[in-house]
Structures are given as C-alpha cells and as structure tokens.
Amino acid sequence: MGMTVAEKILARASGKTVVRPGDVVEPRVDLAMSHENAALVINQFQDIYKGTGLEPRVWDPDRIVIIFDHRVPAESSKTATNQKKIREFCAGQGIWHFHDIRGDEGGICHQILPEYGYVRPGQIVVGTDSHTTSHGALGALAMGIGATEMASVWTLGILLNLEVPATIQVAVTGRFQKFVGAKDLILHLIGKITAKGALFKVLEFHGPTVERMEVSGRLVLSNMSVEAGATAGIVPADDRTLDYLRKDAGVREPLKPVKPDPDADYDRLVEIHVDDLEPQIACPHTVDNVKGISQVEKTRIQQVVIGSCTNGRLDDLAVAASILKGRKVAKGTRLIVFPASSRIYRKAMERGYLRDLMESGAVIMNPGCGCCLGVHQGALGDGETALATTNRNFKGRMGNPNGDVYLCSPATAAASAVTGVITDPRQGGKS
C-alpha cells in the first residue's frame, strides 16, 4: 500500500521507509517561522537552558525566519518593546532571515515565505501561527504549532512525538464562472464538511480545477484548510509550483516534488464540481456557516476589507481594481485594502491598481494583518457589519464582539463596496 504526500514527507524527515496514520514520529524540521509572538517563544527557549550553564543557541539560525506582520507599525509601547526584544535576539543568534517593519521587504508572514523562496516542496514547515498551513500550496507539509513546541524546535530542530495524520483527498472538477474562484471553493468545502470535518487530518487537493490554479489560488486553499480543522492542506507540487519558485521566488537549486502513490490510502474522498458554484459567503459567527450569495444578498455592510494572508495578493487587488475602476464606494461604507507584502504593494502601484482603488474611495494600508487580527487598523463599531476577504469571522475577530463579519472573495468584496450591500459580483461586477 502506498503513501500520501504527507506520509511521504514525514517518512523522509523521520528517517523511515514507511509511515502510517497513527504512527508517532519525530521528523526533522526544514523551516521554522514566527512573527511577533517570537517574544513568547524566546522566553520559553531561554527557560529550557536555565540551570544548565549552557548558552542558549538555536539549532540552525539559517532555518528560522522571523517576520513582523501582526502589529505593524507597533500600536503600543508593549508591542514595540517586544519587537525590540526580538530584534536583539535575532542579531545575537545570527538569524538573518528577519523581516522587520520596512517598506522594501515587509509583509504578511504567509506571503513572505513563498515570495522569498523560503519554502520548498517536500519540506516540513512549522510556524507559530495557525495559518502556516498556507505553505502546503507549494507541496510542503506545513503546520501551526504553539510557542512551547516552537521553543523545542529552536533547540533540537525536530518535532517531538508527532502522530502521523490521516489524509482526506479533495477532488475538484469543472470550470469556475466569472468572478468565482479559489476563495469560493474553499468556503464551499468548509461549509460542506464543517469546521471539524478534517480535524487532525490533512486535506490533499487534486483534480483539473486545482491543476489549472495559479499558486496564489492554491495558497487560498491551503491557508483556509485549518478552518476545517485540518493539521495541513497540501497541493502536490507540479510544474506550476516549480515555475513559481524559479521565476517568482528566485529559487535556483534543484527541486523535488513529492507525489502521492497511486495506491495511497486516504481516509475518505470529497468530490466537488464547480461549474455551477455561485459566490460563497461565510456568515457570522463561524467559518462553516456558509451560504450561497443568493441567500444573503442585500445585507447592509459598513466596512469592506480586501487583503490578508488569504486574499491580499496581486491578482486579488487586480480583480478588485477592475470592478471598482471608474466607480465609487457607497456612501456609509468604507473600504480598507491591505496588500499582502511590500512587493505586491509596489507592483499594484506600478500597474495602477492602487490608484484605481484610491480613486474609488478605498483606503490603502501598509502590508500587514491589520484589522483581520482586530488589534488595530479597522476595528468595527458596535452593531456594525463587515464583509472581508480574511479567513475568520468569530465574535470579536475584527476587534469588536458586538460586530458581525462575513467572509467572501475579492470580487464579491469589491462589487459589494460599490453598492453598500452584499452583492453578487456576477451581476454587480463589470463584464
């Protein structure tokens, strides 16, 4: 019996020929990422060395990436002090893959990792952020872990006592309608299998629809796999993956995609056909409360957000700008745009997307997690409703438990910004 992509990666990293779901392994980590919560990881890491007489040293500074993105620029003195602590730690440990608050190399961690070529197919990638699953879009096994576990990784370079997860195969066929895409697909899947449907399992995406997707769309699928409870979401690497890594991310060394065996044993198969899929909306207050847009059209909104680690990429901004160009954001509605990285910001500026968005009435923010996190930049007022391309809509997610958050695609967000109500982009968007 063959193995799935996740099983093959774990077997390689654990020095084993074969692994099966339920086996306990200790795989070597290829890449470890943290953002501002590295301050907590540092505390746990230093605690490991207390009483040993040894100087705390990370196992391999070249395999650690630190990226400021959740609170940039710092919104408080506490955050600023923690960021200062992390800067000093990185300098002292020789961690040079550090992305500070800069206009030339900043951005959201889940955009920076693929954009800078840090992630490779077949790697074990861990991050102190639940949406680390994003990097499965490049054929890696990417997982979110806690600060204590990350401190252990920094010390040893391995994951301790990891149970091999079972894998669900997701087969997608058909062609999307105009203004329907990857975000609608993943929302539909989460609504179909529920927020616990892939709990402690891996979602492995297949089918001609996925094969035709650019890496940006695949990142959306893997990013939101965690919202179905998944440990990871993987799109097996193919020629599109390799082209992206070589041409866009500048990777030069040989790359080895990991493919599932034809006789791999999957936990189950989920089949989705997208020809008739309408734009999808995740309604308050859970990501699996998903409805077709026809069921929620005309819902009044006060805020629209386009961006985040899910949908802040160049093609997202391009489709939003194409819908909004020459039009105006509705009175009583505000539109906030967060490009996912400095590179995307610059390219969107060069191509005129930001100009078109600004002239429509949008406010362009610096790359970062902003109001998705709910700490600063775009919190909701009591009783307000937001429509966002972000990935979560739990109570308080956008800074106020007395607000409502609906999730959608960039096309739906842009079309709705023009009308001030949730609007089907197939009718409200431009042809």
Q: What is the mean pLDDT of each run of 10 residues along the chain (431 residues)?
A: 96 97 98 96 95 94 95 92 96 97 94 96 97 98 97 97 98 98 98 96 98 97 98 98 96 94 97 98 96 97 96 97 97 96 97 98 92 85 96 87 96 98 88 47
Q: What was the pLDDT predicted at 104?
A: 92
Q: Where does a domain end: 231, 253, 272? A: 272
How many CB atoms are closer than 10 A to CB 356?
A: 21
Q: Which of left, alpha, beta for 83 (phi over 0: left; psi -120 to 50: alpha)? A: alpha
Same domain, residue pair 211 and 350: no
What's the domain count of the chain?
2
Q: What is the CATH number of the domain that holds 351?
A: 3.30.499.10
At 428 the pLDDT is 72
Range of 24's domain? 5-272
Region for 345 from its dihedrals, namely left if φ exceeds 0, alpha if ψ lies in -120 to 50, beta otherwise: alpha
Is 233 found in the same domain as 322?
no
Residues 303 and 386 in one domain: yes
Q: Are residues 264 and 345 in the same domain?
A: no
What is the pLDDT at residue 431?
Answer: 47
Residue 230: predicted pLDDT: 98
pTM of the model: 0.96
320 and 344 inside one domain: yes
Domain termination site, one of 203, 238, 272: 272
Same structural domain, 182 and 146: yes
Residues 70, 190 within the same domain: yes
**Residue 85 shares a structural domain with residue 132:** yes
264 and 294 housed in the same domain: no
Q: Are residues 333 and 235 in the same domain?
A: no
Instruction: Write down the pLDDT at residue 430.
Output: 65
Q: Select from 272, 295, 312 the last residue of a domain.
A: 272
37 and 181 together in one domain: yes
The answer on 296 and 228 residing in a single domain is no
Q: Provide the pLDDT for residue 375.
A: 81
